[in-house]
Amino acid sequence: MKPAGGLPVARAFAGLLISCIFFCPPLLRAQEGKLQKIREDVRGDDSSNSSGKSSDDDWGSLLGQILADLFCFDDDADGCHADGYFPSYPYARGQPGYMWMKRTTPDGEEPPPQPDFTKARGWSGRVAVEESNDFDGINRATLRLLLETGSGFGVQTNWSYVHENLSCGCTDNLGLGDLNLTYLFIQHENLQVRLGAGVRMLFDSHATDFGFNFTCGADVYPCKPIVLSTTLDAGTLGSAGVFRVQGSIGFLYKRWEIYTGYDYLRIGSTALQGPVLGLRLWF
């Protein structure tokens, strides 16, 4: 009697197995979230990747032209300017803003008060950790680093770990990063504006994808202890276009800044956005 009784159980188990084989893949696809959609937009299919070489060459030519114009390789260009100097952090030693400039005056005129340039450096740095959440299952943790020199040249890099909670109860993760060479084309005590170009990356356990990145950022120092910052990025990532804009307001305590704002990042047809909260160290 036991073998006969076990036959319906075996049939039921076999039916369940067949159902899983044929119906679970569509179910899993239905549970895919925004991060999987980003992968699909970035990686596309083989045919689109194979036909994108000429487009990449065009981007490379454009990148070269922008770098040549941006970084003032022509010694006679009007955009070249004198070096600036940086204190340890904004508003240090009672001075306005963050960059100290040596001012010259016509003969016979009283020179304006100037800071003690022996207390300043020809370079500056800042590192920040940042948290952003869209309150719909996606969280971004970001590390940012910016190094700049008084001559205008700098390096900027940003790395984000993106985590998504899916409706199935499982999770998805990927990493985003960029590395840029920058140049301060506006230098002033209360305002610095930089342009830059570099490479953008997406990486997960399966592959790493690359693209070009163009960035523009500005920092405004209206009065102690406030810092206003904005960044705009545009470029490519694999087969997808990328656009990002962030604005923030920060409050300084000596070399520490806590800031909040909003970040919008669009990769292909998918947008990741939400408020941000960050902590920045100036050095």
Q: Pull the structure tokens for residue 218.
A: 């500005």
Are the CB atoms for 153 and 183 separated by under 8 Å? yes
Residue 147 contacts by C-beta under 8 Å, 6 or more apart in sequence? 123, 124, 125, 154, 155, 156
The whole-angstrom separation of Cα 157 and Cα 94 is 30
The whole-angstrom separation of Cα 43 and Cα 5 is 52
Pure H helices in the chain: 2-30, 34-43, 46-50, 53-70
Strand runs (DSSP E) across the chain, as ranges?
Answer: 123-133, 138-149, 153-165, 171-187, 191-203, 208-220, 226-237, 240-253, 256-267, 270-282
Residue 276 is predicted with a pLDDT of 98
User: Is residue 212 classed as helix, strand or coil in its secondary structure?
Assistant: strand
Q: What is the per-residue pLDDT across 101-128, written as a single tens digit (0 to 9) for each?
A: 877 666 666 666 778 888 899 999 999 9
The whole-angstrom separation of Cα 169 and Cα 151 is 52
Longest dimension (CA), the chain: 116
Q: Pull the structure tokens for residue 187.
A: 């230098």
The whole-angstrom separation of Cα 199 and Cα 157 is 10
Q: Is the pLDDT of residue 180 over 90?
A: yes
Q: Is the peptide bond before 112 cis (omega within 30 degrees of 0)?
A: no
Taking residue 31's Cβ as centre, other Cβ atoms within 10 Å add up to 14
Average pLDDT over residues 76-103: 78
- Domain spans of the chain, in order of start: 50-104+116-282
Q: What is the pTM of this model?
A: 0.76
The CATH code for residues 50-104+116-282 is 2.40.160
Confidence of residue 5 (pLDDT cuts 50, 70, 90): low
Q: Is the pLDDT of residue 16 over 60?
A: no
Q: How many residues does the chain have?
A: 283
